[in-house]
């Protein structure tokens, strides 16, 4: 059993079962948020979901695509934008996912004197820095909001806040 699997199994009784899918996090290739409710609802093949190599694009109850980081993160591979026949998602509109991540120091094992690098290991952007061995912080200037750190955290200490176009934040 790997260290991460051990920590996950120990922390699983403390994790919340609600996936919070009601919060809408969109794929990172759109121009206008309103296009989702105008155009995506009429899309029949939902090809953005089938081409996603990480299987993080789901279709919400209203028929629009959303991201769910419960199983993986976004590689920014462009495949969902290429597959979108209605041009709601376009490669030229690529931007960081409109989420800002932070670490809940009360839940974080490292902040509570247990050596854990679960969030740092999958971070391709090297955005998670440790002060010594026990104090991880997310550098939002380096973070692309890919979400790979979310699933691997054994104590659900990675928090998300949606960053809206006008810089308003909705903590989830």
Give the pLDDT confidence of 30-69 residue by residue, as tens digits: 999 999 999 999 998 899 999 999 999 999 999 999 999 9
Long-range contacts of 161-170 (CB under 8 A, 24+ apart): 161/99, 161/100, 161/102, 162/23, 162/24, 162/25, 162/98, 162/99, 163/98, 163/99, 163/100, 164/98, 165/33, 165/98, 169/100, 170/23
The pLDDT value recorded for residue 143 is 96
Give the chain's length: 172
> What are the start-end ranges of the H helices in the chain?
3-11, 34-38, 47-51, 79-83, 148-152
- pLDDT recorded at residue 18: 43
**What is the tens place of the pLDDT at every residue in 99-135?**
999 999 999 999 999 999 999 999 989 999 998 888 9
pLDDT at 17: 42
pLDDT of residue 132: 83
pLDDT tens per residue, range 129-152: 998 888 999 999 999 999 999 999
pLDDT computed for residue 15 by the predictor: 47
pLDDT at 6: 55
pLDDT in tens, 2-15: 555 555 555 554 44
Count how many Cα atoms sit within 13 Å of the Cα of residue 94 in the half-sphere of its side chain: 13
pLDDT confidence of residue 86? 94
Higher per-residue confidence, 6 vs 91? 91
Counting other chains too, the contacts that 123-129 makes at CB distance below 8 Å and 24 or more residues apart are 123/148, 123/149, 124/148
Output the pTM of the full model: 0.78
Inter-CA distances, 109 with 71, 146, 149, Å: 20, 22, 14
pLDDT of residue 7: 55
Tell me: pLDDT of 16 over 50: no
The whole-number average pLDDT for the span 64-83 is: 95
pLDDT band with cut points at 50, 70 and 90 for residue 21: very low
């Amino acid at each position: 059993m790997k260290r991460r699997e051990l920590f996950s199994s120990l922390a699983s009784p403390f994790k919340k079962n609600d996936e919070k899918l009601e919060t809408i996090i969109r794929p990172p290739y759109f121009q206008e948020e309103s296009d989702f409710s105008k155009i995506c609802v009429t899309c029949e093949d939902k090809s953005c979901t089938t081409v996603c190599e990480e299987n993080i694009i789901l279709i919400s109850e209203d028929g629009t695509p959303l991201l769910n980081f419960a199983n993986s993160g976004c590689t920014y591979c462009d495949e969902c934008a290429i597959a979108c026949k209605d041009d709601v998602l376009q490669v030229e509109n690529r931007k960081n996912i409109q989420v800002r991540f932070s670490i809940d120091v009360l839940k974080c094992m490292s902040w509570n004197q247990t050596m854990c690098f679960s969030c740092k290991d999958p971070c391709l952007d090297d955005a998670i820095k440790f002060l010594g061995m026990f104090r991880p912080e997310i550098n939002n200037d380096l973070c692309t909001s890919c979400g790979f750190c979310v699933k691997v955290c054994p104590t659900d200490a990675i928090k998300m806040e949606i960053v809206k176009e006008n810089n308003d934040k909705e903590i989830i």
